[in-house]
A and B are shown apart, each in its own frame.
Chain A
Amino acid sequence: MKNNKTDFIQGNIACVEGAIVAGCKFFAGYPITPASEIAEHMSERMFQVNGTFIQTEDELSSIAAVVGSSWAGAKAMTATSGPGISLMQENIGLAIATETPLVIVDVQRGGPSTGSPSISLQGDTIQVKYGSQGEYQVISIAPSSPQEMFDYTIWAFNIAEKFRTPVFVMADVMVGHMREQVEYPEDYNELEIFDRKILDDPDSTEGRFLSTEVAPMPIFGNGFKANVTGSTHDEFGWRNVSDPKVMDNFIKKLTNKILNNKSEIIRTEKEYMEDAEVVLLSYGSVSRAALETVHTAREKEIKVGSYRLVTVWPFPEKEISKMSENVEKIIVLENNLGQIYPYVRSAVDGKAEVELLSPSVLGEFFEPNYILNKIKEAK
């Protein structure tokens, strides 16, 4: 393992190194621009850490293998782009329903359909939240640098393991392909690495599923039978698809497991917010353009602040609501046509003006002057 060292690497490579530090021992994936470097580097690194790497025939198979390996006890991950997420949706639902910890890295590209492989877009923000059928909650993290691809992939594994649920790392072409220095931790033993609770006693009367406190996982290979199904089930995994009360419990426990723990999951970053009149609200790579604009604006004595969602889902509506009480205007910056914009408006609920700003050309990185002009127009 690399130690106490600075490296100059792509976000995609940093993501793999983070996964390995987190204890990832299984990767299944299918190559796709702009995520292919993750699979390529994993093929080398999994071999070195006695893990397993599979290049599957397609993304459907990748996510299925990742779900299976997690049930066999491995920390597991896949990486793809929007088109691959589309193909994975069915088994992402299975992972949510069966409370399977795993990490899905989505290095987003231009879409819809095959779109533009090497053009950056935040096109999948909603897809990862609502792409699979039914009612559920996901956790998604939006890194903005190779360093964060390293740090937040570790964190993604930790919360996946802790809450027994899929976690999305939402990169894009910009962050995935960007190279920047990454500082590896000085002491790996000081890193917090979380491992899932495992059920080891077959006679335990403790539930195996559907606890907002997160039930211990009855992983395969421990010598007892484990009942795991994507159909509606009870705390012991027994299938019951006819009783609405069982379904009510099934859905509410799964969603509340995330919603009741929002304060532990949600992270935001605030810069120059103390006296801000206008707020640039952003996430992912775009937050770097937002922050640069804030610095430029402050030099001109314009009171602008940056409010960054580090986690996009679950959505921080309480935090945004509170923040909006003290500001005049919130400009939502997204490299799409406004995917979280309605959520921000709903959270603000009239307490401040909310405006969406997309890049002048979708897929091009926001220019600070372009944002600054919009701020001046607003004032």
Chain B
Amino acid sequence: MANINIRIAGIGGQGVVLSGIILGRTASVYEGKNAVQTQSYGSSARGGDVCSEIIISNKKIIYPQVLKSDILIALSQKAVDKYRDQILEGGTLIVDKDLTKLEFETEKFKVYGESFNKTAIDEFNNKTVANMIMLGYLVKKTEIVDVELLKKSILESVPVETKEINIKALNKGMLLAQ
């Protein structure tokens, strides 16, 4: 595949942007590929719609935005509704199944649902690690980046005191994907 186009969409506070940065950093700094990440959001830091887009490629990336995505990770109902028509044929949709209702059937792309937010609260007592559970799940399902390099990238991107819990959450996500 020349380009991998990933769109992560949800609500401010879910770690949507950070997840995109971590994926981009893993691919570019650690795997030596090209990566670009852009984002769109409203003016509120929490609670507004937010979308983070990442392109990973072996070639130089000219056009920086995702038009149709190979992978959509939707963490809110609005994200599913807004972006599911822009998934490429043969692509992948991953949703937080407790935050979304999938009232459609499709053979165009694969659909996976998992409890990222609920698992973060129930098992880690900390909903901010839901994005790490999601990343673990994503990488296990799609193998878009190397897991060990992803861990390195996470360790570089999160505050020191949260390193352990973030890696544990990532491992949990990978376990859920098995």
Contact = CB atoms under 8 A, between A and B. Distances in A.
Interface of A: 6-8, 33, 117-118, 145, 174, 177-181, 285, 288-289, 291-292, 295, 365, 367-368
7 contacts: A118-B43, A179-B37, A181-B35, A288-B64, A292-B63, A365-B64, A365-B65
Contacts of A365: 64-65
A174 B28 contact: no
Given A118-B40, A118-B42, A174-B38, A181 B65 contact: no
Residue of A118, A285, A291 most packed against chain B (CB within 10 A):
A118
A359 to B, nearest CB: 12
B134 interface: no
Contact of A180 (B36, B39, B63, B65): B36
A152 B31 CA distance: 26
A295 B25 CA distance: 27
Contacts of A295: 62
B41 interface: yes
B24 interface: yes
The 8 A-B residue pairs with the shortest CB-CB distance in the complex, in nearest-first order = A292-B63, A181-B28, A8-B25, A179-B37, A180-B36, A292-B62, A8-B28, A291-B62
Interface in B10-33: 21, 24-25, 28-29, 32
A291 B63 CA distance: 8
B64 A8 contact: no
A145 B42 CA distance: 22
B67 interface: yes
B94 to A, nearest CB: 22
A277 to B, nearest CB: 21
A118 B50 CA distance: 12
Contacts, number: 56
A266 B24 CA distance: 33
A118 B24 CA distance: 21
B80 to A, nearest CB: 21
B34 interface: yes
Contacts of B29: 6-8, 181
B95 to A, nearest CB: 25
A179 B36 contact: yes
B43 A117 contact: yes
A180 B63 CA distance: 12
A6 B24 CA distance: 12
Contacts of A6: 28-29, 32
Interface in B31-70: 32, 34-43, 61-65, 67
A374 B43 CA distance: 33
A130 B36 CA distance: 34
Contacts of B35: 8, 180-181
Interface of B: 21, 24-25, 28-29, 32, 34-43, 61-65, 67
A255 B67 CA distance: 44
B42 A178 contact: no
Given A6-B29, A8-B28, A8-B29, A180 B40 contact: no
Contact of A8 (B24, B41, B43): B24
A288 B62 CA distance: 6
Given A178-B64, A179-B36, 4 more contacts: A174-B38, A177-B39, A180-B34, A292-B63
A174 B36 CA distance: 11
A181 B32 CA distance: 9
Contacts of B34: 180-181
A250 to B, nearest CB: 44
A180 B54 CA distance: 10
A63 to B, nearest CB: 25
B64 A174 contact: yes
A295 B41 CA distance: 30
Contacts of A178: 36-38, 64
Given A6-B29, A8-B29, A8-B35, A180 B43 contact: no
Nearest to B43: A117
Contact of B63 (A8, A33, A181, A368): A368
A289 B63 contact: yes
Residue of B25, B41, B42, B65 most packed against chain A (CB within 10 A):
B65
Nearest to B157: A8
A295 B60 CA distance: 13
Nearest to B54: A179
A292 B61 CA distance: 9
A199 B29 CA distance: 45
A367 B68 CA distance: 11
Contacts of A288: 62-64
Contacts of A177: 38-39
Contacts of B64: 145, 174, 178, 180, 285, 288, 365
B144 to A, nearest CB: 15
A179 B40 contact: no
A175 to B, nearest CB: 9
Residue of A179, A180, A289 most packed against chain B (CB within 10 A):
A179
Contact of B41 (A118, A179, A289, A367): A118
